[in-house]
Each structure stands twice: as structure tokens, then as C-alpha cells.
Amino acid sequence: MAHLFIYGTLMPGLRLEAQMQGARFVGAAQVPGRLVDVGRYPGFLSGEGLVTGEVYEVDAAHLARLDVVEDMVPGDRAASQYWREEVTVSSGPLQGLRVQTYVYNRPSEDFTPIPHGDYRRYIREVGRES
């Protein structure tokens, strides 16, 4: 089993929530990083700031399915839109927990920053459905 931090359209109430069916919710969390608006979904980038999301426990088969959803090609980072990396939860009851998350793996300079790092809040602010 692995701990996976999600921060965008995989979260409950959002467009791809069904992809998380079968995962066990562990808790809300924040991890170091920043978000950008890639269009119909956010991109997680390393950097200063905090990203708000949730941690789930998933098995290897579930991670493999999510890799396909996130356009991650195992063993080929250059071909992947997202790449799964390990980060550490920085606050709350899960502080210090090592988790995996999908990091945006394409140029991101032209995307709008999501300064507060909370995708749900952002789509409410801009009036977008996700």
C-alpha cells in the first residue's frame, strides 16, 4: 500500500473522483509546492508555498490505473505529462508522512498561478466547474 496526495480533479466532488473509488481516505493535508491552472485541471509544481489536498491509501494496481489517468508513462519521464514523486506532508495530523503525488512535467511558465494552493477554492473563485 502507498499513500497518495491528491489536490485536483481526483478529489471528491470533482470531475475525476470516480477514479479514486476503492482508495481509503487517510486525511486532509498540505504539502510544499505550488499549483498552476493548466486548463481543465491543476498542475502541481515544486517551489515555495503550500498545496492543499487529501491523502489516500492505494494499492499498486490502483496506482497503475492512476498513472494512466495522469498520463504518466512508467520509466519514461520525457513522455509523461505528470510524474509521480514523493513529498512530505508539512502540517496537520499527518505532518511528516511521506506521500506520493503527481507533479506536472511540462513547461508551466505560461499558466496562471493558483497562489493559495487550493484547487477547490480556486474553481469556486473563477466560477469553473471541474
- Please state which CATH class domain 2-126 belongs to: alpha beta
Q: Domain ranges in the chain?
A: 2-126
pLDDT in tens, 23-70: 999 999 999 999 999 999 999 999 999 999 999 999 999 999 999 999
pLDDT in tens, 92-113: 899 999 999 999 999 999 999 9
E strand or H helix at 99: strand 98-104
Q: What is the pTM of this model?
A: 0.95
pLDDT in tens, 29-39: 999 999 999 99
Cβ within 8 Å of residue 64, ≥6 positions away? 74
Query: Average model confidence (pLDDT) for the chain?
Result: 95
Give 71's pLDDT tier (boundaries 50, 70, 90): very high
* pLDDT > 90 fraction of the chain, expressed in percent and rounded: 92
DSSP H helix total and E strand total for the chain: 2, 6
Angle at 70 between CA 105 and CA 113, to 5 degrees: 50
